[in-house]
Amino acid sequence: MDAELLLDARAVLGEGALWDASRRRLLWVDIEGREVHIFDPAGGDDVAIDVGQEVGTVVPRARGGLVLGLRRGIALLDPASRELTMLADPESHLPDNRFNDGKCDPAGRFWAGTISHRRQPDAALYRLDPDLSVRRVLEGVVNSNGLAWSLDARAMYYIDTGTHRIDAFGYDRDTGAIRNRRTVVDVPDAMGKPDGMTIDADGMLWVAHWGGGRVNRWDPGTGRLLSTVLVPASRTTSCAFGGPDLATLYITTARTGMTAEALAAEPQAGALFAVRPGVQGLPAFEFAG
């Protein structure tokens, strides 16, 4: 399958795609552009909100507004007023780190991890509970990335990009505890680095592969590659099912660090793409706090 151009956004580092089902819009971010984007596929309008610092992820809040993972912590954003309210900065002592990918779990907790720009294992995965308390749940991370939860809510899937793996944890919906980490997919280097991730209605994982120009569908039960969506931008970063029937896969890409020659060969780098792969996704969870 081939992805088709949807929006020639020319994002520096497009990331964090997530479908806001309640409002029928696609949320995504340009990390290095410092922007939160709200895209309306029905009309083709894309609203960009400058938040003043690098923004790694965005999720909807059930009571309205958005929750962000930023360079300097976790914050709330009111898209109408564009007012930003900082909640916590658990890595204020690590100025080279910033928040990266994140998602909400089935109980409405917001999980977001950090990335070490020194590529050292001093990043971590955090959980923002509905009472707005923040807990560090995983240490020794280099580049915290894709997250997803199994259909029965008994497993949490997780990517630390540098490991070239998709791992699974046992997950307790009532407490948010994770345990018993294991590898479910070993990603060959030739396919690119595993980045953003989502899950479909069959329980299969869709993973964007940085440097691979693709989104792969993986079976977490067997570790097998099931299918591939080719993207005309090698720095493929994240993916999310959306649209009225949750059957469109939206894909973000990046152009950061590319030479003039590379950009000439990939003029659509940084664009937003879409494909209908023949399966449906699931509604994204909202933050309950």
Quote the tokens at residue 267: 């003029």
CB distance 32 to 260 below 8 Å: no
Closest CA relative to residue 151, chosen from 239, 242, 282: 282
Please state the φ and ψ torsions of residue 202, each to the nearest 5 degrees. -95, 0
- In angstroms, the CA 33 to CA 40 distance is 20
Question: Contact, 26 vs 243, CB < 8 A?
Answer: no
Length of the chain: 289
The single residue listed with the structure tokens 């959980």 is 127
**Residues taking part in catalysis:** 195
Name the amino acid, one letter, at 65.
G
Rounded distance between C-alpha atoms, residue 82 and residue 152, angstroms = 37
What does the block give as tokens for 142? 């280099």
Instruction: Return the SS3 of 196.
Output: strand
Burial of residue 249, with CB atoms counted within 10 A of its CB: 0-12 exposed, 13-18 middle, 19 or more buried: buried
